[in-house]
Amino acid sequence: MLISKFKIYSTSFFTAIFFSFSGYYVLLMLCSNLLGLSYSQYFTIPVRILIVLLFFICFILIGRQEQSKKPVFLAFIAFSIAYIVRITTETLGGVHNHMNNGAFLLYYLSFCFLPFLFLLLKKELPTDLKLYKWAILSSGFILALLSFVFYKDIIGTVGRISLAVSKDENYISPLALSYSGSLTMGVALLLLLTEKNSKFTKLTLWLIAGVSCIPFFLGASRGSVLSLAVPFILFILNHRSKLTSIYLMLAFVLFSFGVVALSEQFGSSVISRFMGIEEDISSGSSSASRIGIWEYALNHFYDSPLFGSSLEVPETGHYPHNIYIEVLMTTGIVGFIPFMFIIVKTMLQSLYIFKHKPELSWIAAIFLQNIIQNSFSGAIYGASWLFVSMAMVLCVDFRSEVATTQRVQVFGRKRVGAGA
């Protein structure tokens, strides 16, 4: 019975993380290419409900730790109340947005609130990090393989997938592809740098990192370049050995040249788009239109700085493509302060990991990648990657040696130790 409970927990936790990240887009890619876009709507909500149920099962199986009185938990509740009040206010005021106001609440609860809550409150097990790691890697790897299977004919022929595949065809978001590739590559490479792996594991990690180049270059997102580079730079700068930092910086420079060379081979425009940011801004290019959207959103915040003014930017009928500006616009200072408290708390924890727990740097890197991603795309209600990655950094007591090695063994000491 003890073993059965552990298997249920492990399967539930792995599956929930798998679909919270790239696995969600694996399903969408399969659906759009095999069944057609019209069927994708039948998968979106059920998958989100499944994720919440799986996290809830994990929570029920092992119980909760005492987090409910900690500042980060209270800050999360305060921000969530501010956001839900904004949704309620617009609903009662008859404000029409690009989707039904009830959908904002449903998406926020299923994408962000409940997953974060269950992860933060449940007791952590040593096996959690192993499951988390391989769920991220396997979901990204499968998405990369499917990207090759379905889009191999356009690889090397266009700078970005959206130039060859329209939204009416077997479409997948370029941002989803690029950020998934970036995330999977980053985790695999950090594991190669920080863990003592068997030859088979090393080969597997190199394979995963290599194949992940496919969605990274197909999506050609400028933000994904930053999200890949910044965690490595912080990891190098915070390394305890200065000599090792120098070697790692040289390796990073060589790796950067390799990425540029691969970009040319793939025919991807990711590097040229990244290098052309300043020119796009000065010329008013449509690819730099986010800056104008940010200005609109900030102006609406200035109109109502305390509580915010709207769920979306009225001039565009959409979110601002920057979660921090969106929090200001939507919840005002009342919601921004607790939200930033959570971000800063998680950032400090991440820097601690880089410096004192380098073998776990990949956990911090997942969070940092999502900080950057949500600075250029995405909305509060769909920021699943950000909230799950924050919870995974915050729920483990990395500062305690006992916490990471001798955590309460819920299913029996031997079995969980074997799983870890």
Low-confidence ranges of the chain (pLDDT < 70): 1-3, 37, 41, 66-69, 164, 166-171, 260, 262-288, 398-420
- Distance (Å, whole) CA 57 – CA 130: 18
- The answer to whether the beta carbons of residues 223 and 369 sit under 8 Å apart is no
- Distance (Å, whole) CA 419 – CA 394: 22
At residue 386, the pLDDT reads 96
* Closest C-alpha among 336, 333, 388 to residue 366: 388
- Distance (Å, whole) CA 315 – CA 309: 13
At residue 349, the pLDDT reads 94
Long-range contacts of 211-214 (CB under 8 A, 24+ apart): 211/141, 211/144, 211/145, 211/148, 212/140, 212/141, 212/144, 212/180, 212/181, 212/182, 212/184, 212/185, 212/188, 213/144, 213/181, 213/185, 213/262, 213/266, 214/144, 214/147, 214/148, 214/155, 214/181, 214/266
At residue 420, the pLDDT reads 35
At residue 270, the pLDDT reads 59
At residue 409, the pLDDT reads 53
* Other CB atoms within 10 A of residue 282 CB: 9
* Other CB atoms within 10 A of residue 345 CB: 17
- Distance (Å, whole) CA 245 – CA 239: 6
At residue 363, the pLDDT reads 95
At residue 53, the pLDDT reads 96
At residue 155, the pLDDT reads 81
At residue 273, the pLDDT reads 55
Sign of CA dihedral 325, 326, 332, 337: negative
> Taking the model in full, what pTM does it have?
0.88
- The answer to whether the beta carbons of residues 365 and 231 sit under 8 Å apart is yes
Could you tell me the two tokens for 131? 């499951």
Provide the β-strand partners of residue 313: 318
- Distance (Å, whole) CA 134 – CA 81: 34
362: exposed, middle or buried (Cβ count in 10 Å: 0-12, 13-18, 19+) = buried
Alpha helices in 35-113 (DSSP H): 41-62, 71-92, 101-107
Could you tell me the two tokens for 283? 């010329």
At residue 170, the pLDDT reads 57
Residues comprising the chain, all counted: 420
At residue 172, the pLDDT reads 75
